[in-house]
Amino acid sequence: MEIELAHRLSTLSHPKRLAVFRLLMRRCPDVLPAGEIAQVLALKPSTASVYLGALTQAGLISQQRKGTQLLYGVNLAAAQHVIADLFLDCCRGRADLCPPLQPTGKATAPAKTKLNILFVCTGNSARSIFAETILRDMGGDRFNAYSAGTAHRSALNPIAVEVLKSKGHDLSHLRSKNIGTFQGPDAPVMDFIFTVCDRAANEECPPWPGQPVSGHWGMADPVKATGTQAEKYLAFQQTYGALHNRLAAFTALDFDLLDRSSLQTRIDMIAKTPIKRTTKP
């Protein structure tokens, strides 16, 4: 145990290897090609390959092949073992000296009448706006839905607005917001935070108060769709449908019975649900 722990800690002691590991942790349950990892972290492909090899050898990440690509994902069991080994070894499990491995008990405070959910994207113009609006109408009696973007400035996408209008949603509350709006002392404490685009998940953010449960529901940006106006509109419709399906599964969860670990597992399972694509506008 000690040799394996020392090896893993030594591997993570290198800042760039640690950056690769943290990126894959933020993108969990996604698996990423080496080229994307190198691009996000501004690494040379050869350098990224060396770091990925070291992390794989230490068992901290896993590797799988898809066609000609090698895909990498975080090994959650190994990460938990590192924390558990440190906790049990240095503190003998004493809660007064070391924190628990993860918050225990239910994911949310039982006294709360509504759960606060924040959807984060880069621009807060389409995907996160869709999610906020869908959840507000789908479960407004149980959830407070919010959305924000990591970019400094953005605006609502007109096609996204048109799609929401066609679905009968009330748009009077909608506006594009920066993530800083929800990081001040007067901001609501979030119970759940979902990133709905890969770029937002790639960015490092400061810890959120209250240790909210997080999930990554990344999907393609409909704003980048090309072709005719009908084809662009279809891309937005598909994104709306995918988020609607995921939020329907999310709101069906029994939050009173699930602990944090079980809830996280289900959120990750929802993220892996295939997105159905249609070919006709």
Active site residue 205: yes
Active site residue 121: yes
Q: What is the 3-state secondary structure (H, E, C) of the chain?
A: CHHHHHHHHHHHCCHHHHHHHHHHHHHCCCCEEHHHHHHHCCCCHHHHHHHHHHHHHCCCEEEEEECCEEEEEECHHHHHHHHHHHHHHHHCCCCCCCCCCCCCCECCCCCCCCEEEEEEECCCCCHHHHHHHHHHHHHCCCEEEEEEECCCCCCCCHHHHHHHHHCCCCCCCCCCCEHHHHCCCCCCCCCEEEECCHHHHHCCCCCCCCCCEEEECCCCCHHHCCCCHHHHHHHHHHHHHHHHHHHHHHHCCCCCCCEHHHHHHHHHHHHCCCCCCCCCC
Active site residues: 121, 197, 205
